[in-house]
Amino acid sequence: MLGKKLVTAQKRGETRALCLGLGMVACSMMMYFFIGITIVPFYTKSVWTTETMCKVLKANIKDKVLSPNCEGSEDEDIFPYPCLQVWVNLTASGQEVMLYHTEDTLERNPKCSYIPGKSENSKEVKAQIETIASNFKKYQTFPCYYDPGGTQTNVILSRLYPPKGLLFAFLWPTLMFTGGCLIIVLVKISQYVSVLSAWQ
């Protein structure tokens, strides 16, 4: 009687472990799919792939602007902000080009190098942009990214999804997938050993 209870408990434990392993594999597949349709397209679409050194030529703050693609829109995220324009000398080619914070900055407003976050306090936004401009003037030379193919003549300060960031995004689903497969394999081995012991 006790032996039957132990066998039943073992089978329940194996079933739960098998469900856990399959669930981990399914979740990892969903994460792979989500990363594949969100992060990977942005990474592959970016043409600013080569790192070089940029030297600041001038950093000016223009009057408050709105994104030209969003003027007349009723979106609550649209707000006026001082337009910071940073021009740099590209070491790789010696050209004078405009610097943008990320790829997204160029798409949202090609007139400005930086787009601040939404804030109701205009003084804080102005102080933030003035601080960024002073930092560019203080640190004249810094690494930046440019398009080696020449389709984009401007440069960006940092990539939204660099290779390390992409690898980090794939790390967690890979660990979950590996753990799920390991649990399934261990359960199958346990079942095989149990059957082999019962047969002997």
Compute φ and ψ for 59, nearest 5 degrees: -135, 105
pLDDT top residue among 93 and 30 = 30
Residues 145, 51 contacting (CB under 8 angstroms): yes
- What is the sign of the dihedral through the CA atoms of 102, 105, 111 and 117? negative
Q: Name the H helices within 57-162.
A: 103-108, 122-138
Q: For residue range 61-78, what is the model confidence (pLDDT) as tens digits? A: 887 666 544 444 444 456
24-53 residue pLDDT tens: 999 999 999 999 998 888 888 888 988 989
* pLDDT surpasses 50 at 187: yes
pLDDT at position 71 is 43
pLDDT score of 196: 75
Task: Return d(Cα 120, Cα 124) in angstroms, integer.
Answer: 9
The confidence score (pLDDT) of residue 126 equals 85
